[in-house]
Amino acid sequence: MTTQAPTTRLMLVTPPVADAEAMAFRLMQAMAGGDIAAILLKLAPGDDRSRIERVKRLAGPVQGNGVALVVEDNAMVAARGGADGVHLTGGPAAVAEARSSLKGERIIGAGGLRARHDAMDVGEAGVDYVMFGEPRADGSIPPLSAVVERAGWWAEIFETPCVAYAPDAESVAALVETGAEFVALGEWAFAEGQDIRALVEAANASIGAWTARKAAR
């Protein structure tokens, strides 16, 4: 009997969102392209009230499609906006603070992990996922080979799920093969003129092809 191979799923990482209405339209296009596990929502600067309102505007359509909405770096805004969780880049201290305020009621993910020990530290702090390969604060992106290595190492050893960030559409297949539970399509997927529905369809096709090959072994 062949054992069903675990299936990698997609995450989308938005650019900083100032116009929730425009982003809602883009997200509906993306979700029409097939399976998406989660949206990581980045918010443009603003006061807490306006940021909370943006989260509320997007939570309904996203969650209505069975997709989790995770907000970057602000547990209070995430909770008051009705999001499913928060994505943190501040290390174990930020994770501990969020765990205290959210009381286990929402997802806590972690990124900004430069070294293996950084990932292990937040894993021990109790995050629900770790992310590798997202752009650094200066906008630079780690080499794909480094992300493949890091995601493969984590997926093989640790039970906490990991997200491998794809710097472009051509990188998806290589990241799926690491065994990462999630592959993230980043801000590039939302670029003007980009067919985000087609990108999601193609990424899911890559996942399906890999899953079928692995299950047949």
- What local confidence, expressed as pLDDT, does residue 3 receive? 43
φ, ψ of residue 9 to 5 degrees: the values are -125, 165
Low-confidence ranges of the chain (pLDDT < 70): 1-6
- Farthest CA pair distance, the chain: 56
- What local confidence, expressed as pLDDT, does residue 110 receive? 98
Distance between first and last Cα of the chain:
11
3-state secondary structure of 70: strand
Residue partners of 9: CB distance under 8 A and separation at least 6:
35, 36, 37, 181, 182, 183, 207
CATH architecture of 9-216: Alpha-Beta Barrel (3.20)
- What local confidence, expressed as pLDDT, does residue 6 receive? 60
- What local confidence, expressed as pLDDT, does residue 211 receive? 85
